[in-house]
Amino acid sequence: MAQALLRLKESPSQTAGPYVHIGLTPSVTGIGGVYPADLGATLINDKTRGERLTITGTVFDGADTPVRDCVVEIWHADADGLYPSPAEWRGVADANFAGWGRCAADAETGRFHFETIKPGKVPFGDGRVQAPHVSFWIVARGINLGLNTRMYFDDEADANSEDPLLRRIEHKDRIATLIAARSGNTHTFDIRLQGARETVFLDI
């Protein structure tokens, strides 16, 4: 006798395909008239509070070759550590901060680029304070599920040493794969999908 289905089954995963960057960022690839501007292209304006900074980097495959057709998304808190989300219960986030950005890798160099602000500290699930960080999501052809990781700041050494997530990483030499290098107001964060220097990815 057939039994009742009490839960939904997970559907099979599929790769993003070779045209994910075209579908998500049509203006970048020369397809006009879809949106006034690609979604996620702008995080800040001239009224946004906080320290302005640039985040840039390259996604590399296992052969150390730039993945030139990937799409990178970021999201993070505002300068006061508040998220511009209906689920934010601690206060009201900066109305001039989007909190989320999307960028297609440059077709020639494979680099991504975001103009944003430095995020404030946010609480962990148990109330401990997390170091300032930026969450990343990477998708490209051949990746079944989008990859999640984080970027921390190299000028926040004390906060990083107490960060609940970083403290959970067993192999401490891997923490360096999550730390961006600062030069002026530019933070460079390269993401490596495989290899000896593979970036730490998060199962979320």
pLDDT at 5: 59
Range of the domain at 127: 20-192
pLDDT category of residue 75 using cuts at 50, 70 and 90:
very high
Q: CATH no. for residue 67?
A: 2.60.130.10
Residue 55 domain-assigned (yes or no): yes
First to last CA, the chain: 37
Residue 131 domain-assigned (yes or no): yes
Residue 198 domain-assigned (yes or no): no
Residue 11 domain-assigned (yes or no): no
Mean pLDDT of the residues in the chain: 91
Span of 2-11, 25-34, 187-196 with lowest mean pLDDT: 2-11
Which residues, other chains included, contact 102 with Cβ-Cβ below 8 Å and sequence gap of 6+? 24, 25, 38, 39, 40, 41, 71, 72, 73
2 pLDDT more than 60? no
CA distance 135 to 55: 12
pLDDT in tens, 112-127: 999 999 999 999 989 8
Q: Rounded mean pLDDT of 128-141? A: 95
pLDDT at 18: 66
pLDDT at 112: 97
pLDDT category of residue 6 using cuts at 50, 70 and 90:
low
183 pLDDT more than 80? yes
The alpha carbons of the chain give a radius of gyration, in whole angstroms, of: 18
CA distance 191 to 136: 10
Number of domains in the chain: 1
Residue 201 domain-assigned (yes or no): no
pLDDT at 7: 75
20 pLDDT more than 80? no
pLDDT at 135: 98
Residue 168 domain-assigned (yes or no): yes
- The pair of structure tokens assigned to 171 is 């192999």
Residue 72 domain-assigned (yes or no): yes
Residue 8 domain-assigned (yes or no): no
pTM for this entry: 0.89
pLDDT at 145: 83
